[in-house]
Every structure is written in C-alpha cells, then in structure tokens.
A and B are shown apart, each in its own frame.
Chain A
Amino acid sequence: MRQVLARAIGGVAIIGLIAGAAACNSGSSSDDTASEGNCGYKLAFFGALTGSAANLGVNIEQGFELAIDQYNKAKGSTCIEVAKFDSQGEASVAPGVARSLVADKKILGIVGPPFSGESEAADPIFESAGIPTISPSATRVSLSSKGWKVFHRAVANDDAQGPAAAAYIKDNLKATKVFVADDQSAYGAGLAEVVKTKLGALVVATDKTEGDGKQADFSALVQKVQSSGATALFYGGYYTNAGIIRKQLTAAGWKGTLLGGDGMKDPGLSKASGVQAAVGTVVTCPCSPPEAAGGTFVNDYKAKWNQDAGTYSDVAFDAANIFLQGIDAGNNTTTKLNDYLKTVNYKGIANTYKFTETGELDPNFIKVWAFKFDSSGDAKADVEIKTS
C-alpha cells in the first residue's frame, strides 16, 4: 500500500520535473532573429489555397510567389522566403492559422487575406502583432473602418465596384428590367445591395440563394427570373454558384445576360455552365485585364505556373513587390515596413499604388473594368467603366 503511494508520488515528481523544465525552457528566446542586411526574412501569403473558392486564392498566391522568385533570382540567393498559410477561406479556421503566422518572427509582411470574411477574423491578430498586410482582393468596405493600422487594400472596394456594375447595366447593356440576387455572403450581399440601390427603379425583383456548396437546385430562382421578365440578372456571388445558375437559366430558355462581380471572374464559371451558355456573361472587377499587365508578367507567369494569370495575380505580384522594395530600402522590421507603406507610391504592372490613411487605395488609382466571357470560356476585357 505504502509502496504504491511512494511509487505514485515518485513518478509524479519525476515527470513533474521534466514538464517543469520544459515549461521553463519555452520562456527562453524563440527563433533566432533574422540575419543582418535585408535578407533572411519571409513574406507570407495568407488565404484560401483549398476550399470551394480556392482558385481565387491560388491565383493570388502564384502571383505573389512569382514576384519573390524573380527578386531572389535577381539577388542571386534565396534572400526572401515564401511562407504560405492556408486558411481555406473560412473565418473559423483563420484565427488559428493566423496565430501560427504571427509566431514566425521572420515574417515581415503579408499578402492577403483575399476574402473579406476571413479578413474580419484574422486581421485583428495581424494588427496586434503589427505585421503589415496588403490585400489584393478583399473588397468589403467595412474592413478599412476598423481602425487597423496594418490594413492596406490594393484594389477598390465595393463602393466602387457596385456603382460601376450598375452603370454598365444602365449605359452599356441598356437593360430596362433587372433582377438582382445574391448568395448572402459578406461579399455578394454587400455588392448586390449597392447595385440594387444604384439601379433604383430598374430592379423588377430580387432573391437570395444559399452560398457556394449549400445549394445545387436553383429552379425556384430561375422560375422567378423568367416570370419577372428581366433581361439582365445581377448575381452577387462566386463562380461556383454562378456557373450552375447560368446553366440552369439557359436550360430553362432564358436569354438574358448574367452579370456579376470579381468573385465570378474565373473560368470555373464556364466550366460548370458550358462555354456556350456562358458567352456574354459580364463580370466587373476593380482590376485591369491581366493581359494588359506591364512588363513580361504574362509570359513569366505562364512559364512558371503553366497556366494563364488569373484574377488578381497581377495585383498580388505588385503587392509582393511593394513589400520587396520596402525591405530592399532597409525597412527590415514590421514597424518600419508598415510605416513605409504609408508613403509608398509604387508603379506596378497592374496599377500605381498609394494608400490613404485608412489603408484604402488612393481614389485616383481606382479603376474598374468590365469583362465578358467569350467562346474560349474565359472572361476577356470588354471596357473600362469610368467611375466618376
């Protein structure tokens, strides 16, 4: 009896010592701080590499990585490392992954998060750690009013994209009856709301659907669109749902035009609906046509990734280069790099970048383009929509 007790206490003591020693150890300094000079640091991509809208995240990550690769090649060594963090585009996963990111002290800057929902969840963590972020695609307006000093947006937000889409419907399409729907996502609902307000009396009916992956049968929506007599349908949502909707609309014999925002600008839409059905679908994007990107970007991207540059790949490329230029100029801490972003005026391949106090892109550099799906299954540039 006493023996057992002694053994138990002894065992406890020994293991307790080990655990205590381990605990004490963790208090000591963590990763070795980066080497001298401006090398040995990392830039991170944080966003959806897997999940239903993964294509958008992957496009951005690839543009980001291309920029760093070229920089390293020019330097002749792996000066800046690439760190990738997959948040799956989900707000509930984002914080845990974000904490892993901030635990790595070598990361000086983040390109991302690409989606507005995960930005809401992860940006407070980046703010707390002081790591500057440049998002190449999160367009939710409210992100810049949270008081985050590290938040920067390299594109226009939905306050620009929405009115542009409405202007296109009114002036280019000259539609008189418009149906507005959205997928209730933070991005889609926000965009559709702005479009609806701008179109005013042209909107004959509205509807909402469930998000990507939660609904496959849109026959009720299709029915409503048909009986409303609308010749144009604006859908605030992503390419996954939009492709199915376009297909079901065509099957039901609806001949109108489907329009949407940058979330629908992906060949995934025509892959679902069939290339023929998708022809004529118009999507707006606060980005320039990737083919119009300056320099050798288009060919370089194709050479490295064996696919054409996608939506926002060029913006991500520019965002990465803004950071790289900043690091090169000696801003080798997160604070210095964040301060650098305050005054940066960078002429990139897709746009010129200057940030306002709240992290928004300087209004002078905002541009919204309309893209149309053609028989290649991809959205090609149509016109630039002048936002006055």
Chain B
Amino acid sequence: MDFSGLINDFGPLTVTGLAQGAIIALFALGYTLVYGVLRLINFAHSEVFLLGTYACLFVWGLFGLDQNSATPSVGPMLFYMVIGLVAAIVVSGATALTVEFVAYRPLRRRNAPPLAFLITAIGASLFISEVVGVTTHRNQTGVPPIIQARPLFTIGDTTVTNLQVLIILLALVMMFALDRFINGSRLGRGVRAVAQNPDSAALMGVNKSRVIALVFLLGGLMAGIAAVMYDLKIGVTRYDAGFLLGIDAFTAAVLGGIGNLRGALLGGLLLGVLQNYAAGLFGSQWLHAASFVLLVVILLFRPTGLLGESLGRSRA
C-alpha cells in the first residue's frame, strides 16, 4: 500500500477522478432513468453509448479529421464540437429508440416476465457490439484531438485542464437540466407518474408508450454526450468500450440509488474519485475491484443505495 503516493497525488487524483466520474455519471443517468421508469436493467445502454462514440468519429472523419490531425483553432473547434455532439446524440437516441421498439415493446405487449426483458437487452447489446466489432476488425480507432487538453488553472499544486473542467461542468449541467425537466415540466410529471405506477398513470391519461419512448430518448441524449466526452478524454474507442464503461456506470447508478437522478451523479463522481484513490494506493490494477468492494460495503449499510430510489416518489 502506497500511502505516500496517495498523499502526494491526492489533488491530481481527485481531479482526474472527478473527470472520469463525470463521464460515468452521464452514462449512469441513462441507466437510472430507464430503470426508474421501467424497472429494467437496460444492458443495451452500453451499445447506445458505443454507437455514439463512433458517430462523432464518423462525422469528424467526413471533415478529414483523424487521429493524426492537428488540433483546430477555436472557431473550427467549436464547430466540430457542436456537430460531434449532435451526431452522437442523434445516433445514440436513435439506437435507444430502435432497441425499445424492436426488443422491448413486443415483450411489453405480451406482459413478459422481467427476466425476459433482461435477456433481450443482453441479446441486443451483444448483437450491436459484435456487429461493430466485426466491422472494425476488433481494432481500436483513434480520435482526432479536437480539444487539446491545456492547463486552465491550478489549485495548490494540482493543475486542472480545460478538458476536465468541460467534462465535469457538462455532467453537472445535464443532471441539473434533467432534474428540472423531470420535476418541473409536464412531460416530466408524466415520467414520474409512469415510474410510480404505469397502469394508474395510463388510467389517468398519460400516454405510456410515449413517455417510455421519451425516457429512452433522454437516456440516449445523456449517453451521446458522454460518448463525445469519452472520445476526447480517452482518445480511442473500440467495439467493447461500451461494455467496459457500462459496468462502471451500472455500479455507479446502483451506488447512488438506482432510479435516483442525483444518485447517479453522486455515484458516478464518487466512483471515479475512489477508483483513482484505490489506484494510487494499491496500483491501477485494483481500480475495478475497489469499485465493487465499495458497492458491497455501501449496499450492506444502505440497501437501496446512497440516496435511495426516488424517481417514483415525487418531490414536487
């Protein structure tokens, strides 16, 4: 155990952890939203994310950008960011909706048991990631350096880069916006109603299928943003990128309280930071073990996660 390492690097590890955690949080928001409304562990969400990472790469590729390009100046950079985000969001949202229509809706029509949904989700996830894998020959694809990470400011002896600030801010803003939407808007009320009790909500005049489609779309939106941030931060993407991050995100969602939006943010950030501390203390190979041990410990003391489940319980 390398205590001195942890103490020396405490600041930098915290910041890196927050940035990593922010991406996990964005990803987890999608999981938690779908679970809160449908009680479904949406395994296919990792592939929704995956296709988002490839979508922005594709669009950037259309403009001749690849891993060997130089970093563009501010103007073009903003342009590329916008179109990258749009592409990722559109593709992710579309994927989420497709999975819903092809895989989940038929099952819901037959009122299938929950396990059937889970397995179908697994099937969808497998199918999409494998098709991507075969198409890319399981090679990884490098990401053009749209944003060059540059130190923005320093706290003590910790430098914080512009990319890290962007990622963390985005996660906070998106969670806030989603939270406002769910709790403040009419559609959001519909979402909460369906989360609480789908049949009563239908009886009260809420269009259940439309609400469900909306939920998947929102999840896809979050995943798309996470995808672009992931591409910029990690620098490569692979056919199994969704799977890897998905496990972390699912853990984070449960950690914070599955179904709870703020829980997803908290869980994500906490997971990112603690993973990095564990890496500093024990070595990078124990990153993931730390997150699972953390999960078990927290669930032992708070069986419904840190902030509890709450999508169904309205706070308005």
A–B touch (CB < 8 A): the answer is yes
Residues of A at the B interface (CB closer than 8 Å) are 50-52, 54, 181, 184, 205, 207-210, 213-221, 223-224, 226-227, 240, 243-244, 247-248, 251-253, 268, 271-276, 377
CB neighbours of A213 from chain B (8 A): 238, 240
* Cα–Cα, bound, A99→B184 (Å): 65
Is A276's CB under 8 angstroms from B68's CB?
yes
* B285: nearest chain-A partner, CB-CB: A208
CB neighbours of B139 from chain A (8 A): 268, 271
A259 to chain B, nearest CB (A): 18
Is B142's CB under 8 angstroms from A209's CB?
no
3 smallest A-B Cβ distances: which pairs?
A220-B279, A247-B235, A274-B67
* Cα–Cα, bound, A258→B140 (Å): 20
22 contacts between A and B (CB under 8 A): A54-B137, A207-B283, A208-B283, A210-B288, A213-B240, A215-B287, A216-B244, A217-B20, A217-B234, A220-B13, A220-B16, A221-B279, A223-B13, A223-B16, A247-B236, A251-B148, A253-B149, A268-B139, A271-B140, A272-B140, A272-B236, A274-B67
CB neighbours of A50 from chain B (8 A): 138
* Cα–Cα, bound, A51→B284 (Å): 24
CB neighbours of A274 from chain B (8 A): 67-68, 142, 145
Is A248's CB under 8 angstroms from B234's CB?
yes
A318 to chain B, nearest CB (A): 28
Q: Which of B13, B16, B283, B285 has the most CB of A within 10 A?
A: B285
Is B244's CB under 8 angstroms from A220's CB?
no
Is A273's CB under 8 angstroms from B235's CB?
yes
CB neighbours of B145 from chain A (8 A): 251, 274
* Cα–Cα, bound, A137→B184 (Å): 63
CB neighbours of A210 from chain B (8 A): 284-285, 287-288
Is A218's CB under 8 angstroms from B142's CB?
no
CB neighbours of A272 from chain B (8 A): 67, 140, 142, 235-236
* Cα–Cα, bound, A223→B20 (Å): 13
Known contacts A220-B276, A272-B142; A243/B236 CB under 8 A:
yes
Query: Main SS of chain B's interface residues?
Result: helix
B291 to chain A, nearest CB (A): 12
B298 at the interface (CB under 8 A from A): no
- Given A272-B235, A273-B235, list of 5 further CB < 8 A pairs? A219-B233, A244-B235, A247-B67, A268-B140, A377-B68
Known contacts A223-B12, A224-B9; A244/B234 CB under 8 A:
yes
B277 to chain A, nearest CB (A): 9
Q: Which of B67, B238, B279 has the most CB of A within 10 A?
A: B67
The B272-310 residues at the A interface (CB cut-off 8 A) are 275-276, 279-280, 283-285, 287-288
A238 to chain B, nearest CB (A): 12
In the complex, which of the residues A224, A252, A253 contacts B280, with contact meaning CB atoms closer than 8 Å?
A224
Is B5's CB under 8 angstroms from A224's CB?
yes
In the complex, which of the residues A51, A207, A219 contacts B20, with contact meaning CB atoms closer than 8 Å?
A219
CB neighbours of B9 from chain A (8 A): 223-224, 227
CB neighbours of B285 from chain A (8 A): 184, 207-210
The B69-101 residues at the A interface (CB cut-off 8 A) are none
B245 at the interface (CB under 8 A from A): yes
CB neighbours of A273 from chain B (8 A): 67, 142, 235
Q: Which of A218, A248, A271, A276 has the most CB of B within 10 A?
A: A271
* Cα–Cα, bound, A320→B179 (Å): 65
* Cα–Cα, bound, A210→B19 (Å): 20
CB neighbours of B314 from chain A (8 A): none
B197 at the interface (CB under 8 A from A): no
* Cα–Cα, bound, A203→B241 (Å): 32
The B121-146 residues at the A interface (CB cut-off 8 A) are 137-140, 142, 145
CB neighbours of B151 from chain A (8 A): 253
* Cα–Cα, bound, A271→B137 (Å): 14
B185 at the interface (CB under 8 A from A): no
B207 at the interface (CB under 8 A from A): no
* B287: nearest chain-A partner, CB-CB: A220
Is B234's CB under 8 angstroms from A52's CB?
no
* A274: nearest chain-B partner, CB-CB: B67
B209 at the interface (CB under 8 A from A): no
* Cα–Cα, bound, A52→B133 (Å): 11
Is A227's CB under 8 angstroms from B236's CB?
no
* Cα–Cα, bound, A167→B287 (Å): 32
* Cα–Cα, bound, A276→B67 (Å): 9
Q: Which of A243, A251, A268 has the most CB of B within 10 A?
A: A251
The B232-291 residues at the A interface (CB cut-off 8 A) are 233-236, 238, 240-241, 244-245, 275-276, 279-280, 283-285, 287-288
Is A207's CB under 8 angstroms from B284's CB?
yes
Q: Which of A50, A181, A247 has the most CB of B within 10 A?
A: A247
CB neighbours of A215 from chain B (8 A): 244, 284, 287
A256 to chain B, nearest CB (A): 17
In the complex, which of the residues A52, A221, A252 contacts B284, with contact meaning CB atoms closer than 8 Å?
A221
Is A248's CB under 8 angstroms from B235's CB?
yes
A275 to chain B, nearest CB (A): 5
Is B244's CB under 8 angstroms from A214's CB?
yes
CB neighbours of B200 from chain A (8 A): none
CB neighbours of A223 from chain B (8 A): 9, 12-13, 16, 276, 280
* B288: nearest chain-A partner, CB-CB: A210
CB neighbours of A377 from chain B (8 A): 68
* Cα–Cα, bound, A252→B159 (Å): 10
In the complex, which of the residues B240, B245, B284 contacts A209, with contact meaning CB atoms closer than 8 Å?
B284
* Cα–Cα, bound, A6→B111 (Å): 45
* B245: nearest chain-A partner, CB-CB: A216
Is A252's CB under 8 angstroms from B149's CB?
yes
CB neighbours of B244 from chain A (8 A): 214-216
CB neighbours of A209 from chain B (8 A): 284-285
* Cα–Cα, bound, A221→B13 (Å): 10
* Cα–Cα, bound, A220→B241 (Å): 18
CB neighbours of B235 from chain A (8 A): 244, 247-248, 251, 272-273
A179 to chain B, nearest CB (A): 12
Is B276's CB under 8 angstroms from A51's CB?
no
CB neighbours of A217 from chain B (8 A): 20, 233-234
* Cα–Cα, bound, A271→B284 (Å): 24
B83 to chain A, nearest CB (A): 21
